Structure 1
Amino acid sequence: MAIPESQLETWSHQGAVTSASAIYQRIRDALQADTTLSVRNFDVFLQGSYRNSTNIRGDSDVDVVVKLLEDTFQPDYDQLDELTKAKVKAGHRDATYTLADFRRDVSSAIQRAFPNHNITEGGKSIKIPRTANNIPADVVPCLEYRLYRPPQTFLSDATYIDGIWLWDVQRNHSVISFPKQSYDNGVAKHERTNQWYKPTVRIFKNARGWMEDKGLIRIGTASSHAIECLLYNVPDQQFGRSYGSTFVNVVNWLSSADLTNFVCQNGIQRLFGDGRWTEANARAFIAGLIQMWNQWR
C-alpha cells in the first residue's frame, strides 16, 4: 500500500526557524562585540539544514560557522604543477595567528557570552547546550580553504575555489567543506524543480526517522547531509506533480542508478569516500525506502 499523499505532505513541512534564528543572532552579536576578537576579521554564518531550509521538526542543533578572514588560510596546491605552485607560494607568508589561536579566542568569547551555560568542547565545535531559553548550537571556528586550480591559459594566473577548513581535535584529522557552493547549488536546484526539491529533501529526512523507528534501517545509516546530497544527484525531471509521484520517481531512479560518481551538493567533492559516506549505506537507505513504501499501513 502506498504512503498517503497527506502523510508525505506533512513530512514536507519545514521545521521551526524562529528559535534557530534567535540563537544564531545571539552568537553572531556576541562574537562581533567581543573585545578580543574585535581586532580580527571574520565572518559568521549558518551552515547545514537551517541554512538550506531543509530542517524538519525535531532538528535541533544549529551549526554556526565562524570563518577567519585574514592572511591565515589553508591552501591546497595538489592540482598545480611545480612551477605554478612555486609562483603561488611566493606570494604567501607563514601565518602567525593559527586556527588553534582562533578557536581559543572564539571559545573564550562564547564562554563570556553564555556564562550560565555548560559550554563544552567538541572535536570540531564549541557546543552550547539546550536550555529553557535556547536550542543547542555548535559553533565551528575555521579557516578559509583555497583549492587552487591550474591557469586556463599560459598567461593567466592560478585561481582557487573558496571553502572552509577545520581540524577535528578528537579524531585528529582535517575537515573540508564548501558551504557557499552547497547553498547556491541547492537554491538553483530548488528553482529548476519548481520548488519541489527542498520539500522532497524534508520528506526523505522524515522517512529516515520513520524507518529507524521501525527497524528498517540502522540508526546512522544516512545523515541529513547525506540525504540532501543523494537527492541532489537525482535529475530535475524526477521532481514534481505530486509528493507521491516525486517519491516514487526519485526512489525508482536511485534504485537503478550507478552511485559511483555521485557528488556532494557543493558539486566539488565526491559523495562517497574519504570518510564521508559509503555506497553500502546509501543502498541500504534506498532499500529501506522501497520496503517502507510497499509495506505502508
Structure 2
Amino acid sequence: MAISETQLETWGKQGPTAQFTATYETLRGVLNDPLSPYYLKSFEIFLQGSYKNTTNVYGDSDVDVVIRLDSIFYTDTYFLNDEEKRRYNSQRSAGTYTLDEFKAAVIAWLTKTYGNDVKPGKKAVFIKGNGTRRDADVLVCAKLRRYYTFPAYGDPLYVDGICFFLPEGTRIENFPEKHSANCTQKHQDTRQWFKHTVRIFKNLRNAMIEKKIVEDGLAPSYFIEGMLYNVPKERYGGSEQLNFKDVLNWLISADRDKFVCANEQFKLLGNGHVTWPAANCTRFLSAVKTYNDAA
C-alpha cells in the first residue's frame, strides 16, 4: 500500500496567496513609511519562509517579513586564518548606529500603527492578524557578512546574511536570501519537482499532526526544505508515487550527518539554534514511512 497518486498530487499544490500578498504589501508600506523614525537609515525589507519560497500549503498562516539594517554590518570571520583576521581588523571601523536602536525604533513604529496587536518576542515581533490581514512575524536584524577569504590584494570572498540577538545575548546567524536562491535553483534542476515535493512532505506532516501521529514542532518547514535540498536531482520525477518513493527511500538510507542546510552555510542536523536535532529528523522520516506503508 502507499499514499495514492491523487492525494500526492493534491498535497503538492501551492496554498492560497491572495491574503498573504495583501498583508505583505500593507506591512511593507508601514515599515517603509517616510515618517518612520528610522527612514533615513539604510535598510532592506524582504520576505523569508514558505511564502517567499512558494512552498506554502493550506494552513500556513504567518507572513515572515525581514527588515534588515544595512547601515552597519556584523561579521563572521571563523573561516579566516590569523593573518586574514588581523588584516580585516586593521581595516574595520565601528558603526555609529546600533541594531538595538534600530529594533526599538521599528517596534515603536509598528506599535504606533497596530497598537496592542504588536507583541515583541525572543526572535521576531508578532503582529496579530485583523480582518483580512494575516498574522505576521517581523524579524528586525542587521546585515551579516561571513568571510571565507580576506586577501591583501583583490576582493575578499564572503556571503551576505542576517544576524540578530536573543535576549540573553546569543547571536543568531542565518542566510535567508541564499536559502531562497538555492531552493529556486534546486527546483529548476529537478524539473519543477523540488518545491512540489516540499509541499507534499509539509502537508503529510500536517496530516500526521492532526492525527496525533507526530507532535507539532517535530519537523519545522525550514528543516523539511533543507532535508529535501540534499536529495540528488535524479531522484526527483516520474509519477507522483514514484517521485515520493524514490525521495523517501533515498532519505532513509542516506548518510544524513553530511546533510547541509539549503543555504549551504551550516550542517542541517545538530543541536544549535539553526540546526535540526538528528533524532527529530529520524523520527519524522520513520513516521512518514509508516504512514505511507499503511495508506
- With the length of structure 2 as denominator, give the TM-score of the two structures: 0.95
Aligned to 2:227: 230
Aligned mates of 1:221, 1:209 — CA distance in 2: 11
Aligned mates of 2:289, 2:78 — CA distance in 1: 41
Aligned mates of 1:159, 1:196 — CA distance in 2: 32
Aligned mates of 1:227, 1:68 — CA distance in 2: 29
Aligned mates of 2:124, 2:216 — CA distance in 1: 23
How far the C-alpha of 1:154 sits from its partner, in A, is 6.5
Aligned to 1:260: 257
CA contact (8 A) 1:144 1:162 kept: yes
Aligned mates of 1:133, 1:209 — CA distance in 2: 24
How far the C-alpha of 1:161 sits from its partner, in A, is 1.1
Aligned mates of 1:139, 1:218 — CA distance in 2: 26
Quick check: 1:41 aligned with 2:38? no
Unaligned runs of 5+ in 2: none
Aligned to 1:94: 94
Aligned to 2:191: 194
Aligned mates of 1:75, 1:193 — CA distance in 2: 34
Which amino acid is the alignment partner of residue 250 of structure 1? V
Which amino acid is the alignment partner of residue 223 of structure 2? A
Which amino acid is the alignment partner of residue 87 of structure 2? K
Aligned to 2:138: 139
Aligned to 2:22: 22
Quick check: 1:293 aligned with 2:292? yes
Q: How high is the sequence identity, in percent, across the aligned residues?
A: 37
How far the C-alpha of 1:209 sits from its partner, in A, is 1.1
CA contact (8 A) 1:27 1:110 kept: no
CA contact (8 A) 1:84 1:158 kept: no
Which amino acid is the alignment partner of residue 147 of structure 1? R
Aligned to 1:221: 218
Structure 1 pair 184–89 and aligned structure 2 pair: CA distance change class (3 A)? same
Q: Aligned with 2:243: secondary structure?
A: helix
Quick check: 1:180 aligned with 2:181? no
How far the C-alpha of 1:157 sits from its partner, in A, is 4.5
**Greater mean alpha carbon deviation, residues 259-268 or residues 216-225:** 216-225
Which amino acid is the alignment partner of residue 96 of structure 1? T
How far the C-alpha of 1:125 sits from its partner, in A, is 1.2
Aligned to 1:165: 163
How far the C-alpha of 1:17 sits from its partner, in A, is 1.1
Unaligned runs of 5+ in 1: none
Aligned mates of 1:132, 1:190 — CA distance in 2: 34
CA contact (8 A) 1:61 1:138 kept: yes
Which amino acid is the alignment partner of residue 165 of structure 2? W
Aligned to 1:55: 56
Aligned to 1:10: 10
CA contact (8 A) 1:88 1:158 kept: no
Q: Aligned with 2:117: secondary structure?
A: coil
CA contact (8 A) 2:87 2:152 kept: no
Aligned mates of 1:89, 1:172 — CA distance in 2: 22
Q: Aligned with 2:52: secondary structure?
A: helix
After superposition, the CA RMSD in angstroms is 1.5
How far the C-alpha of 1:267 sits from its partner, in A, is 1.3
How far the C-alpha of 1:78 sits from its partner, in A, is 1.8
Quick check: 1:240 aligned with 2:237? yes
**Greater mean alpha carbon deviation, residues 269-278 or residues 230-239:** 269-278
Which amino acid is the alignment partner of residue 4 of structure 1? S
How far the C-alpha of 1:201 sits from its partner, in A, is 0.3
How far the C-alpha of 1:92 sits from its partner, in A, is 1.8
Q: Aligned with 1:51: secondary structure?
A: coil
Aligned mates of 1:58, 1:264 — CA distance in 2: 24
How far the C-alpha of 1:268 sits from its partner, in A, is 1.4
Which amino acid is the alignment partner of residue 36 of structure 1? P
Aligned mates of 1:180, 1:84 — CA distance in 2: 26
CA contact (8 A) 2:145 2:161 kept: yes
